Amino acid sequence: MEIVISTSALKWFQDEVELKKGDMVKFFPKVYGNSPVQEGFSLGFTVDNYPIDIIVKVEAEGLLFYIEERDLWFFNGHNLHVDYNEKTEEVEYSYTKATK
């Protein structure tokens, strides 16, 4: 499994969330909503510089984006792609089946 952060999503995190070099962003399942990989759950994020058990991570411009082992079930064998939607002015998530 991997996390892919687009350049436009990275810029959104830097500008809107005001992340600075060294900050960490955790992606995690939320108990409401829907996603293409889990019915009844959606994906959220939080700035969390105290990870417990990182299982997947990607670093971009000094920022670390990660998923903890306990949340891996949510992705159901899919990679996470994070992009920025100009119309909604929000980040959006898409998922592709992991090949590994």
DSSP string computed for 21-36: TT-EEEEEEESSS--S
Structure tokens at 30: 């939320």
Full-model pTM: 0.93
The CA distances from residue 90 to 24, 51, 70, 86, in Å, are: 19, 24, 26, 7
Please tell me the distance from the alpha carbon of residue 61 to that of residue 21, in angstroms, as a whole number: 7
pLDDT digits (tens, 9 = 90+) for 39-77: 889 999 999 988 999 999 999 999 999 999 999 999 999
Q: Is residue 17 helix, strand or coil? A: coil
Determine the pLDDT at residue 33: 81
The residue assigned the tokens 């108990």 is: 31
Q: What residue segments make up the domains of the chain, in order of their start? A: 3-97
Please tell me the distance from the alpha carbon of residue 69 to that of residue 5, in angstroms, as a whole number: 19
Ramachandran quadrant class, 78 (left: phi over 0; alpha: psi -120 to 50; beta: rest):
beta
Fold of 3-97: Hypothetical Protein Aq_1857; Chain: A; (2.60.300)
Q: Are 21 and 61 in contact (CB under 8 A)?
A: yes
